Structure 1
Amino acid sequence: MERVLRIGLALLCVLLLSPAFADENDTDWKLVSDRNEIQVYMKHRDESRLKTFRGVTRFELKDEFALAAVLNDYGSYPKWLHFVDSAEEFDRRGPLDRSLRFTTQLPWPLADREAVLQADVQQKVTTEEESVMIELINQPDALPPNNDYIRFPEMWGKLGFRRLGDDQVEMTYELILDPGGYIPAWIANILLRDAPYFTLERLRRIILKPEYQNQYYDYLDLLRGPGRPDSTTNIAGQPKS
């Protein structure tokens, strides 16, 4: 019951405060790229020198727990999350609320960057809708400064899916960040525009790899997926002995 209440309160806060759950038909979003069944949209924010980018794609995903398996594999992040060179978890208040640090290597003469974020999972499972969204909230002061990196002064994002019916899902990746330091806004916007496309293109391939199938995580209330308490996997996602 406590977990259900916590998820409900998190969802309520996000619905009220977060632009991630704004109307998907918002006319402020402009289509800037449509290739390989991935649409990338752009929105300008008056309060920021940079633009917000959103990528959307649809594909077949029979086992929804595969997304959790990929997200728990921090070593794999550089293989699919665009610009990310490393990812680590440095704090956990619960399986749905974690603190993460990402680093990215930029070409000379640009300095390398790092992001310190809270990853907050919101899930919604009803008879009419099923979705899991990870909101990435900037926490630049959660770790001491690192002289080897410039820390992003602004960053916010979301990554997740919603069930469309049968085995089809719609995956969304949305990102806004200010890289800090000296990077002209026009260059930063070009880099940001590419991030949703390459992230989703890689993720939808990696999520289907055998090592991410048949997992089970008891903190997610998902309807699809072979991993269940009475199946051949335990709650840690490992085969039962």
Structure 2
Amino acid sequence: MLNLFVVIFVWLLNSFATPYYLPAETPQAIKPDWELVKNQKGIKVYTKVMPGYSLKAFKGTVRINTDSDACLALLQDFDSYHTWMHTCPESKLVRQVSKYEHYVYTVTDAPWPITDRDLISHCLATTDASGTITIALSCAPNEIPEKSNRIRIKKLDGYWKLTPVNATTTDVVYQAVSDSGGSVPAWAANMTMTDVPFYTLLNMKSKLEK
């Protein structure tokens, strides 16, 4: 079915873990160990420290006035990521295993003087009995050769979750954590943890509600 996203993004991101079902999760059902860092325009962004990762995990939530199939179709349109995924100037499908499983290449445009990152995400979509679609994201760094002008991200865990509220409304959750593949200044890391999920979801909502 899909992919994303990826971008994944955290130096990253953008964003995509083996197949599994995740419990239904809505913007109102965030676990207490997540810290709310931004709440604007109907979008909430949370972060928390994850053992084994150099960067904090982020989680963004939003309610979009469209059906879950439209959300999935956008996440499957890999070539369009640059039009709505924050800091993602380039993306492409690397390999399709099935309509549910893809490998996707994305680039993260890092602020100067930080070197741009790239990522190959393994994206696997499942649907549970309630109709919730989960796209599990993991890292496949050896899928294509590394590029000399970019740092390859080699550790990622995340997902997109599309939960139907009704026939015309979907709750979207975008969560990811990764290693940056090298040192990243604190100001850049903090900006990424907030801006990537916020602007990605804001752009996604705007695109789907046109």
Give the TM-score taking structure 2 as reference length: 0.81
Equivalent position of 2:133 in the other structure: 132
Q: Kindly tell me: are residues 48 and 166 of structure 1, through their superposed partners in 2, closer, same or farther at Cα, counting changes over 3 Å?
A: same
- Answer yes or no: is the 8 Å Cα contact 2:64–2:209 preserved in 1: no
Runs (4+) off by over 3 Å: 20-25
1:77 maps to which of 81, 106, 113? 81
SS at match of 2:205: helix
**Contact preservation (8 Å) 1:175, 1:196:** no
Matched residues in 2 for 1:166 and 1:36: separation?
22
Structure with higher RCO (Cα < 8 A, 6+ apart): 2
Write the letter of the residue equivalent to 2:121. L
CA distance in 2, matches of 1:39, 1:142: 33
Let me know the Cα RMSD of the aligned residues.
2.3
Partner residue, 2:52: 47
Structure label with greater radius of gyration:
1
| Superposition TM-score, scaled by structure 1 size | 0.72
The structure where helix makes up a greater share of residues is 1
Unpaired stretches in structure 2, ≥5 consecutive residues: 1-16
Deviation at 1:174, TM superposition (A): 0.8
Alpha-carbon shift at residue 186 of structure 1 (Å): 4.8
Tell me if structure 1 keeps the 8 A contact 2:118–2:152.
Answer: yes
Given candidates 24, 27, 37, the residue that maps to 1:32 is: 37
Counterpart of 2:20 in 1: which secondary structure?
A: helix
Counterparts in 2 of 1:22 and 1:204: CA distance versus 1, 3 Å: closer
SS at match of 1:100: strand
Overall identity of the aligned pairs, in %:
26
Gaps of 5+ in 1: 1-10, 210-241
Structure 2 matches for 1:82-161, cutoff 5 A? 82-124=86-128, 126=129, 129-161=130-162
CA distance in 2, matches of 1:36, 1:27: 22
Matched residue type, 1:44: V
Q: Return the alpha-carbon distance in structure 1 between the equivalents of residues 18 and 146 of structure 2.
A: 33
